[in-house]
Structure 1
Amino acid sequence: MATISRTARIRNPALFICDLQEKFRTAIYEFPKIITTTTKLLRATAPLKTPIYITTQSATKLGPTVPELTPYLTSPTANIAANVDKTLFSMITPEIDAVLPNPATTGGVLDAIIVGIETHICVTQTTLDLLDRGHRVYVVVDGVSSVNAEERGVALQRLRDAGAVVTTSESLLFEMLGDAGHEHFRAVSGVVRETKEETRGALEALAKI
């Protein structure tokens, strides 16, 4: 097992979007808020050219990724590192594992930012697999959910204990910028301002764990 790499700063971010599919729309606790948080992250990280890893779970049965995200995932400027349909619960399928950076090399440790479902199943197993490979993991509290709301808090505590960071979408975005002088500060902060009401609603529903 790789040594878990911990740091106080996000240096090499990548966005992992786990199984946000049509069939889950009416089953998952506060699903619309997960979609608005994910949309915000996709919009805000686009100027930063953040790599995106996306999965669906058995898409022939559970449907495609929700259409709200499609414009951001199919844009010519979208930095899609992998888009994989899977039966594994973890996003770290052989196909994705093959294209992940190697933590043993310079710059190979990812700051993996995870949104999606379900917190206690696919998000948990993805997080544990990334930590096991030596990557750093940031679970977005306003961007993950489960069918049963109570599962979220239990899972997030387990992931903190395992070495993941549980934080918010806004905190992550400003940490990725690091400086109001960043060339993309206006673009990213503009998205944050435009989505402040949606963010407030997502935090009120999802941050109390």
Structure 2
Amino acid sequence: MATLTRATRIRNPALFICDLQEKFRNVIYEFPKVITTTTKILRATQSLNTPIYLTTQNRARLGDTVSELTPYLSPSQPSQNSRLKADIDKTLFSMITPEMDKLLPNPSRQGEQALDAILVGIETHICVTQTTLDLLSRGHRVYVIVDGVSSANAEERAVAVQRLRDAGATVTTSEGVLFEMLGDAGHAAFKQVSGVVKETKEETRGALEALARI
């Protein structure tokens, strides 16, 4: 088992999207706000070429990934490589299935760098929790996006988020993580990222009001 690495500054980001599927629309607390946050992150990280790891839970029964995300899961131009590194259907609650595990770097091996896993999705106390714990146990750093995770019962979120913070994950916001990825207003992607942040200002405020009180 790899040594647990506490999250510090983001160095090797990857976006993990956990089980944001059609059948959950009317089940999950503030589900539309989770989708708007995830869409914002997907849009803002296009110019950063941040890799994406995505899962669904029993897709045949619970549906495909929500349609709002699909435009951002394929290259914007034919000449570009896809950012989507995994699109895995699962029955495990954790995203870290054996198939997914093979696709991730192994920090215990020389030359393989730990990921800064930026995690959004559902449900906070089940799949998000188990994914976080599995990533941490493998030596990756995890950033749980508080305005991008939810559960059917709102009360489960706070308990889970506190547990994950205690376990070594960093709990942060979508805007905080985006600007940390940039690190410098002189970054080539600053204009594109800050433009998305400004454009989604009202949606972000609504998501934080609903989801950041833990």
Q: Where on the TM-score scale, by shorter chain, does this alignment land: which range?
A: over 0.9
Task: Kindly tell me the number of residue pairs found equivalent between the two proteins.
Answer: 209
Match of 2:116?
111
| Partner residue, 1:64 | 64
| Structure 2 unmatched runs, 5+ | none
Q: Which runs of 5+ in 1 are unaligned?
A: none
The aligned counterpart of 2:88 is: 84
Identity %: 75
Comparing 30-39 and 78-87, the one that deviates more? 78-87
Richer in helix (by share): 1
Distance across 2 between alignment mates of 1:75 and 1:27? 31
Distance 2:179 2:124 in 1: 24
* 1:49-86 CA-partner distances (Å, limit 9, x unpaired): 10100000000000000000010012354401111000
Whether the 8 Å contact between 1:12 and 1:107 is mirrored in structure 2 is: no
Root-mean-square deviation over aligned CA pairs: 1.0
| Equivalent in the alignment of 1:195 | 200
Of 183, 186, 192, the match for 1:181: 186
Q: Is 2:129 the counterpart of 1:124?
A: yes
Normalising by the residue count of structure 1, what TM-score does the alignment of the two structures yield? 0.98
2:38 maps to 38
Distance 1:7 1:152, change over 3 A: closer
The superposition leaves residues 18-77 of structure 1 with CA deviations (integer Å, 9 ceiling, x where unpaired) of: 000000000000000000000000000111010100000000000000000010012354
Deviation of the 1:106 alpha carbon: 3.2
Structure 1's consecutive aligned runs of 4 or more residues displaced over 2 angstroms after TM superposition are 74-78, 104-107
Counterparts of 1:122 and 1:75 in 2: how far apart (Å)? 27
Distance 1:164 1:25 in 2: 27
Query: 1:140 Cα shift?
Result: 0.2
Residue 118 of structure 2 contacts residue 144 of structure 2 at CA under 8 Å; is this kept in 1?
A: yes
> Any conservation in 1 of the 2:54–2:86 contact (CA below 8 Å)?
yes
Residue 54 of structure 1 aligns with which residue?
Answer: 54
Residues of 2 paired with 1:47 and 1:96: CA distance? 25
